[in-house]
Amino acid sequence: MKASIGAFSFFQLLSQNEMNMYGYLETVKYRYRLDAVDLWNGFFANREVPIWELPGDDELMKIKRNLDERELTVANIAVDRAHLWDADPDTRQLLYQNAIAHMKAAKLLGAKTVRIDANRGPGEVTEEQFEYTVRTYQELAQQASDYGFTLGPENHTGISLDPLWMKRVAEAVDHPGYGILLHIDRWIDGNQGNEMVAPWVNHVHLDKRTLSSENTESTIKFLSEFGYQGYWAVEYNALSNPYIEIEWALAAAKRLLASACPNNG
């Protein structure tokens, strides 16, 4: 069963200095007995600056060594503060350079998929933004393909919560190295977005709300029958009792997967 746990699920522990990258790897491997991780760059990048900086090669190699020692697959790396669009051209260029740097890190760490958002937060959407987004994703998708993974946005923030816009971008990018991280049912327009972006889904997130929804099993079954073969990741930022809450969430995810995809166990 292709299950993993998003590192952001442990944000509270990270913020309280009760978990670091290596504690996360230990937790996923030995507490929850999984063979795949969903990294979040907030665990290893410098979050004290507006555009999060990666550590040096020595630290990245240390992370890689620890992944290999535990025989952990990197199902996804979710990258924050390297989104494509910002209204300020200078900031946009810095974000682009950070995206490139994170892609090189993803190659080193052996990621299967990478999430780099289209934008951050609300804002007026223009044709200039759309054209830049498509052009840049085309470039990054080619680079991702060369590196051996797929890359694209998540329905995570801003305009990416609009399934019509996400579908329009995907159709315009039209590259095999492009993929969408689907956070199930996280849309401004209800649930139909899951089906609209299905042809491009390269990774899936499940949160507390969707794990408790009566619609989620049918969505999982639809994606599986549509041909999705990637990982299903729990991303649930529990505000208290995170180990217990994640244990529940993972069990709920496995139960849904077993029911919706009985032949994929």
* Longest Cα separation, the chain: 50
H-helix segments, 27-88: 57-69
- The answer to whether position 154 is within a domain reads yes
Find the helix packing angle between 89-109 and 57-69, rounded to 10°. 40
Bridge partners of 37, per DSSP, are: 74
Place of tokens 């060594």: 65
User: Into how many domains does the chain fold?
Assistant: 1
- The answer to whether position 72 is within a domain reads yes
Structure pTM?
A: 0.96
Mean pLDDT value across residues 100-122: 96
In whole angstroms, what is the distance from residue 82 CA to residue 50 CA?
10
Mean pLDDT value across residues 125-141: 96
pLDDT attached to residue 121: 84
- The answer to whether position 83 is within a domain reads yes
CA-wise closest residue to 13 among 5, 24, 3, 26: 24
Average pLDDT, rounded, for the chain = 95
Among 2-11, 54-63, 122-131, 220-229, the range scoring the smallest mean pLDDT is 122-131
Instruction: Give the CATH number for residue 17.
Output: 3.20.20.150
Does pLDDT of 79 surpass 70? yes
SS3 state of residue 174: coil
In whole angstroms, what is the distance from residue 64 CA to residue 61 CA?
5
Confidence class for position 125, pLDDT limits 50, 70, 90: confident
Give the number of residues written for the chain. Answer: 265
- The answer to whether position 265 is within a domain reads no
- The answer to whether position 219 is within a domain reads yes
Does pLDDT of 195 surpass 70? yes
- The answer to whether position 87 is within a domain reads yes
Residue ranges making up the domain that contains 18: 3-260
First to last CA, the chain: 5
- The answer to whether position 212 is within a domain reads yes
pLDDT attached to residue 141: 98
- The answer to whether position 57 is within a domain reads yes
> 252 or 265, which is more confident?
252
Place of tokens 């200095």: 17
pLDDT attached to residue 264: 57
Confidence class for position 190, pLDDT limits 50, 70, 90: low
Mean pLDDT value across residues 69-86: 97
Does pLDDT of 62 surpass 90? yes
